[in-house]
Amino acid sequence: MPVRLIDSLASTEPLAELFSDNSILRAMLEFEVALARVEAKLGIIPRAAAEAIASASDPSPFDTAELSRKALLAGTPSIPLVKMLRKIVAARNETVAGFLHWGATSQDVSDTALIILLKRAQPLIEADLARIELALHEFSGKHKDTVMLGRTLLQAAPPITLGLKAAAWLAAIRRGRERLSRAFAEALVIQFGGAVGTLAVLGEQGVNVAQELALELGLGFPDAPWHTHRDRLAALVCASGIVTGSLGKVARDISLLMQSEVAEVAEPQSEDRGGSSTMPQKRNPIGCAIALAAANRMPGLVASYLSAMPQEHERAVGGSQSEWPTVAAVMQATAAAAASMAEISEGLTVDPDRMRQNLNATNGTIYAEKAAILLATSLGRDKAHRLIEQAANRALLENRQLSEVLAEIPEILKCLGKTTLEHLLVAEDYLGSAEAFRQRLLQNTSAISSKS
């Protein structure tokens, strides 16, 4: 299914298909069929009823437009769905049609259908996150010695390595994926409670039916029905928001490094990607834009879900009814960000020469911290800081190297010496624990690579 135009920047085709009308309809029908099979197995309804319900659950005859119209009147799509399905079953075997939906309530259908869809979304999203991890793991190893400017408050700062930067990206995404995986594991449980969460219609068989239903659907079995307790889904929504935010952070860094004035990295290029309708020379960070758009939308979606958590008693008025579009949008935004950043991570190109040029363009002032620390052992920190600050300002004003200016100040030359000043501006000599931190960030990754 192609993504609707209005959602073209907010989803991927697999996730658009997953949350399509037909897919949602199939998930709801899957619940009803599974429930009937389990209840027939336990002798609660006739086996003929289960067979009739299963044979009537082909989604083709259902009019989803009519289902949507009636859902607006019923407050849930489950009620008109059950009516439509019962009519189809009755046309084939009227005597067993009454056993459809036995013991269930409408929210059992809609909630469990949503959980079924989330179970199918998980591998799609996690596959792209795994692609990113693997690509960044290899990228970090390849660029462990590629020196670049560190940047604080968007200003030039002491040098770092691109390998360390990429390892930090990777570690945040890995933590996000692991958090998301745990949240999925907790959330993927059936909803089956009947009218008020007691399954009274089923008598003493309620727990048995619920356990068997969970097995039939391949979902977890919670301690009790959770109609108005939405904490598991809330944790999943929040975890999605966090990993999408981490993807957005990577996209922000890359898009800034792609600016024409910086030009240190570039997204992979292909036909129809990153161009401009008016400027033929443009190579725009479109993948980053998609990820950032998802990250921009996500806080509002997460807040929307959290605001619906305080639900009344055993069934909510408006709380659960608000969730389907919110959760669907969260999953699609996460998937769009992950797919975009996976493509970027696997094809990101680097210009080490430009990185070196940008380092040199600072006239060595990025090593002012280094000079101040060296000088502080002789002159004290405050005086050293003041002298180096004055020298750095002069170097920028006169467009000269900081080391040259420092060498002209007798007090500094006397303390540091000519040899120290000559080696002051060597980036590789001021990387500190960059490589140690890079290796620590990578040591817990699940990506397999021997290149680092």
- Catalytic (active-site) positions: 276, 315
Report long-range pairs for 369-373 (Cβ below 8 Å, ≥24 apart). Answer: 369/158, 370/158, 370/424, 370/430, 371/402, 371/406, 371/412, 371/416, 371/424
Tokens standing for residue 62: 């259902």
Give rounded-to-5 percent helix, strand, coil for the chain: 65, 5, 30
Dist CA 38 CA 35 (whole Å): 5
Dist CA 2 CA 69 (whole Å): 23
Tallying the residues shown for the chain, one arrives at 452
Residues in CB range of 45: below 8 A, 6 or more apart: 36, 39, 96, 99, 102
Report which of 132, 219, 119 is spatially closest to residue 175, judged by C-alpha positions: 132
For β-strands 349-350 and 155-161, DSSP reports them as: unpaired
Report which of 22, 7, 77 is spatially closest to residue 323, judged by C-alpha positions: 77
Tokens standing for residue 22: 């037909």
Let me know: does 292 contact 284? Beta carbons within 8 Å. Answer: no
CA triplet 304, 241, 123: central angle to 5 degrees?
115
Report which of 242, 344, 244 is spatially closest to residue 288, judged by C-alpha positions: 344
CA triplet 435, 127, 240: central angle to 5 degrees?
85
